[in-house]
């Protein structure tokens, strides 16, 4: 199987681009480019396989990228192989969960569709003599991240990833923007994870999840670094803005970004709400989840001070939908108890703030459940298999399986 053409850009309608690839031996399907297993990504071709990290060369997991403009994309994958069964989990960009276990029998091909948001740090520069910036102020952790580059990257994980065909096409759908900190963000490396990167799995392919949350962020820093400007520049009527800050805002030892719960913290939340509403989007407030600290009776201790109550108060004052992840996380941790709750956290439980794949997935289930009962139109876009979820009855940690990504780091998340 060899590559004979450059990247195919077909057309569904006049002026609408499409990228389509065939990974099977033999002639490609009509309108598809045949891709050899040895085809490494290059800027000249605009597609190809990403290199595996050192030490992971023999892993069945692989990453494939396509150079695309910024925007939302409907991705259709045909999974399966004529000669072997398959078992694959698909993630996008920096480990965003898209498909959880696509299992195929020998000779079977199954199609799955999902929406991927692609962005880069650049923005339209402000007019001459006007304040502003031409892009997001990225931190060192983000440099080189798949979340901020010029391509759409898919990771095919699991014991037997079998990819037959891949199609990528631009689409306009309602977007759920996430603004928050390290507990929400797309954590770039295993074993840490944020609930925002698990959220796409819980939606039908008719909604885009644009996770702009970042480690170490506060309401103030998110503004100063132009992250709010960036997501607002793409916001349109019918979109949503989920807002979860507090873990870092409460740090008085960070004087440039500290916001007092009773005053400035509430005021900044209202700024975000107002900016979303001005663009015809729906703001949603999310209280920060607890840190893992139990008292002698096995109950979670609140380490977030008055910040969760401040979010609840602003939600009441402004009529904004509230997702009380603070309360739901307490039920979740207490259901596991002091002896098991560490299994939901990063670094083998040494980190009492950030979560691993299991913890982030359960918190994303909490968010999906809150959306389901919220009355928001967004609830109609939840995936068909999203059933009622009681955080006091989570999946047992030892029963949870999610194939890990290749990228790993022992460095603590920023702001830890």
Q: What is the pLDDT of residues 59-103, one digit of tens each?
A: 999 999 999 999 999 999 999 999 999 999 999 999 999 999 999
Residues in the chain predicted with pLDDT less than 70, given as ranges, are 1-16
Q: Please report the pLDDT score of residue 412 as a whole number.
A: 86
Q: Please report the pLDDT score of residue 55 as a whole number.
A: 86
Fold type of domain 1-172: Jelly Rolls (2.60.120)
Instruction: Give me the residue spans of the domains in the chain.
Output: 1-172, 173-416
The Cα 139–Cα 269 span in angstroms is 23
Residue 201: which region, alpha, beta or left (left: phi > 0; alpha: psi -120 to 50)? Answer: alpha
Whether cis (ω within 30° of 0) applies to the bond prior to 222 is no
The Cα 232–Cα 212 span in angstroms is 11
Q: Measured between alpha carbons, how far is residue 91 from residues 65, 185, 211, 252 in Å?
A: 12, 14, 14, 37
If one counts every other C-beta atom within 10 angstroms of the C-beta of residue 21, the result is: 23
Instruction: Decide whether 1-172 matches 173-416 in CATH topology.
Output: no
| pTM of the shown model | 0.95
What order do you get walking across the sheet with 86-92 strand by strand?
47-49, 62-67, 151-160, 86-92, 96-104
Q: Please report the pLDDT score of residue 16 as a whole number.
A: 61
Q: Please report the pLDDT score of residue 3 as a whole number.
A: 33
Identify the DSSP state of 53: P
3-state secondary structure of 26: coil
The CATH architecture one would assign to domain 173-416 is 3-Layer(aba) Sandwich (3.40)
Q: Please report the pLDDT score of residue 57 as a whole number.
A: 85
If one counts every other C-beta atom within 10 angstroms of the C-beta of residue 70, the result is: 12
Which uninterrupted H or E stretch holds 323?
strand 321-323
Q: Please report the pLDDT score of residue 279 as a whole number.
A: 98
């Amino acid at each position: 199987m060899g590559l004979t053409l450059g990247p195919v850009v077909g057309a569904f309608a006049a002026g609408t681009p499409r990228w389509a690839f065939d990974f099977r031996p033999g002639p490609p399907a009509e309108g598809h480019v045949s891709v050899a297993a040895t085809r490494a990504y290059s800027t000249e071709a605009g597609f190809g396989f990403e290199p595996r990290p050192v030490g992971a060369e023999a892993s069945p997991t692989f990453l494939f990228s396509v150079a695309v403009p910024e925007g939302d994309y409907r991705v259709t994958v045909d999974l399966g192989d004529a000669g072997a069964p398959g078992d694959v989990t698909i993630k996008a960009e920096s480990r965003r969960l898209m498909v959880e276990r696509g299992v195929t029998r020998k000779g079977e091909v199954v199609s799955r569709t999902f929406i991927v948001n692609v962005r880069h740090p650049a923005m339209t520069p402000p007019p001459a003599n006007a304040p502003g910036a031409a892009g997001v102020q990225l931190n060192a952790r983000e440099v080189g991240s798949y979340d901020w580059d010029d391509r759409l990257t898919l990771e095919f994980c699991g014991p037997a990833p079998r990819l037959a065909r891949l199609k990528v096409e631009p689409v306009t759908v309602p977007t759920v923007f996430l603004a928050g900190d390290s507990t929400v963000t797309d954590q770039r490396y295993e074993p840490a994870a944020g609930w925002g990167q698990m959220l796409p799995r819980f939606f039908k392919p008719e909604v885009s999840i644009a996770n702009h949350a970042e480690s170490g962020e506060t309401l103030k820093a998110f503004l100063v670094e132009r992250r709010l400007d960036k997501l607002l520049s793409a916001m349109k009527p019918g979109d949503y803005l989920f807002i979860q800050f507090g873990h870092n805002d409460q740090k008085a030892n960070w004087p440039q970004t500290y916001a007092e719960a009773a005053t400035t913290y509430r005021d900044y939340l209202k700024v975000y709400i107002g900016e979303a509403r001005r663009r015809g989007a729906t703001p949603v407030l999310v209280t920060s989840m607890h840190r893992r600290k139990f008292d002698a009776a096995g109950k979670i201790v609140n380490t977030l001070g008055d910040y969760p109550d401040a979010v609840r108060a602003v939600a009441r004052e402004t009529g904004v939908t509230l997702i009380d992840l603070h309360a739901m996380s307490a039920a979740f941790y207490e259901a596991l108890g002091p002896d098991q709750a560490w299994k939901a956290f990063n670094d083998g439980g040494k980190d009492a703030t950030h979560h691993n794949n299991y913890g982030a997935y359960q918190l994303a289930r909490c968010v999906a459940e809150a959306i389901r009962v919220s009355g928001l139109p967004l609830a109609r876009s939840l995936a068909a298999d999203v059933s009622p979820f009681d955080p006091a009855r989570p999946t047992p940690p030892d029963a949870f399986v999610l194939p890990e990504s290749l990228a790993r780091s022992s460095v603590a998340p920023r702001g830890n």
